[in-house]
Structure 1
């Protein structure tokens, strides 16, 4: 149902500092945007990645899949900073205790 509001804004911005890549994601990460988040994290070669999801308002199964792919590729070097919503989705999906997930 169209409620006349503006569509949710999504952004994924990557910044590299030496061997550390920080990807800042905002808005809704879903089927339409999860691959964009993943590609932003894979665009630059990096040894360590911080995925800042603190401004994410919605996170679906496609987003979880992209996040798991990143965790596999950057095993031991990925840090995820979740929003409250992202943490809740990860807890429900059984990923709430992963070593890469930081407290909110």
Structure 2
């Protein structure tokens, strides 16, 4: 199927406990949606973030850039739970060894 035929979908739902934001991201993270993922993780008073990317189906260079921005903002308190697709992109990009990347069980 041609990618133009597929409907793009994205959502980022944030829940906050204390000063940690947990963001459930679904669908495609690309240059048109990556900033929304960043905004969802960086609300006022947030000092830590968990990105649950297990439902992400597409992840491009803009999404990688956003992860690096979040790693700078939360140098010791960022956690990223990747989908298989996200893990593959991070592996190819040389980012699979980052301390914020949650390893599979």
Partner of 1:78: 78
Q: Residue 100 of structure 1 corresponds to which residue in structure 2?
A: 100
Mapped partners of 2:45, 2:59: distance in 1: 25
Deviation at 1:48, TM superposition (A): 1.7
Scaled by the length of structure 1, what TM-score is found?
0.92
Q: CA deviation at 1:24?
A: 0.7
| Aligned residue-pair number | 102
RMSD: 1.2
Distance across 2 between alignment mates of 1:54 and 1:34: 16
Name stretches of at least 5 consecutive residues in structure 2 with no aligned partner: none
Is 1:66 the counterpart of 2:66 in the alignment?
yes
Which contiguous aligned blocks of 4+ residues in structure 1 show a shift greater than 6 angstroms? none
**Which stretches in structure 1 are left out of the alignment for 5+ residues?**
none
